[in-house]
Structure 1
Amino acid sequence: MDVFMMIRRKKTTIFTDAKETTPVHELKRMIEGILKVPPRDQRLYNKDNQLMDDDRTLQDCGITVATAKAQCPAQLGLAIRENSGDFEQLDLTPYSLPPDLPDVMKNQ
């Protein structure tokens, strides 16, 4: 079955889907195709900010059809190795809030 994920890093959000049985390493290869960052330079974190092991499947990491639906995807964090060789701190920039509705559009 397909699971749906939002992979976030700073101001970047990637929406993707995969099978529950997909290994974390394969998900990193999908990210490589988008961001051009090799899997060895990526770290993925689950919703509890725990590092996800490359050899485990998404299902092993708690990403299942029940927890990662299309209308409510699982949120993962992404950190990338910097030029110094160290991984950056996990940084998920909050989404901005929409402005208030103008008075003419509010119910009276």
Structure 2
Amino acid sequence: MVLTQARHPQEVFLMIWCHKTIIFVDAKESSTAFELKCIVEGILKQPPDEQGLYKDDQLLDDGKTLGECGFTSQRARPQAPTTVGLAFRADDAFEALCIEPFSSPPELQM
């Protein structure tokens, strides 16, 4: 007798960065980039067509799943979420992608 596991969509953990704003999100690998934009819309009140989501400076296709875009449960883990860039539409194009790093804390004096 062979037991098979039911396939369940795997969770991915993402950090969506826009300038100094960071949104932590968990989603399924089977979710589309458009569905991720809808999550962002609920938080930032910007409609999906005004958003550009990026992985490694490449604009994500709204119709592709997160898994197809390279966001897998092996790479986007809770303890090490994967970065997604977010830019908003300015006129006919998206603004330049800008991810500003956190400042480093000052050295502790002993």
TM-score, normalization: structure 2? 0.88
Gaps of 5+ in 1: 104-108
* AA aligned opposite 1:75: T
CA distance in 2 between partners of 1:53 and 1:12 (Å): 22
2:22 alignment partner in structure 1: 13
In the alignment, is residue 54 of structure 1 matched against residue 56 of structure 2?
no
Q: 2:97 aligns with which of 80, 90, 99?
A: 90
CA distance in 1 between partners of 2:62 and 2:79 (Å): 26
Deviation of residue 38 (structure 1)? 0.3
2:4 alignment partner in structure 1: none
Runs of 4+ in 1 over 4 A off after TM superposition: none
Q: 2:37 aligns with which of 28, 45, 50?
A: 28
Q: 1 or 2, which has the higher strand percentage?
A: 2
Q: 1:81 aligns with which of 56, 72, 89?
A: 89
CA distance in 1 between partners of 2:69 and 2:53 (Å): 11
CA distance in 1 between partners of 2:29 and 2:57 (Å): 19
2:73 alignment partner in structure 1: 65
- Kindly tell me the number of residue pairs found equivalent between the two proteins: 101
Deviation of residue 86 (structure 1)? 2.8
**Superposed CA offset, 1:60-105 (max 9, x none):** 00000011000000100000012x34311001111110111121xx
Name the % identity. 50
Note the aligned Cα RMSD (angstroms).
Answer: 0.8
TM-score, normalization: structure 1? 0.90
Gaps of 5+ in 2: 1-9
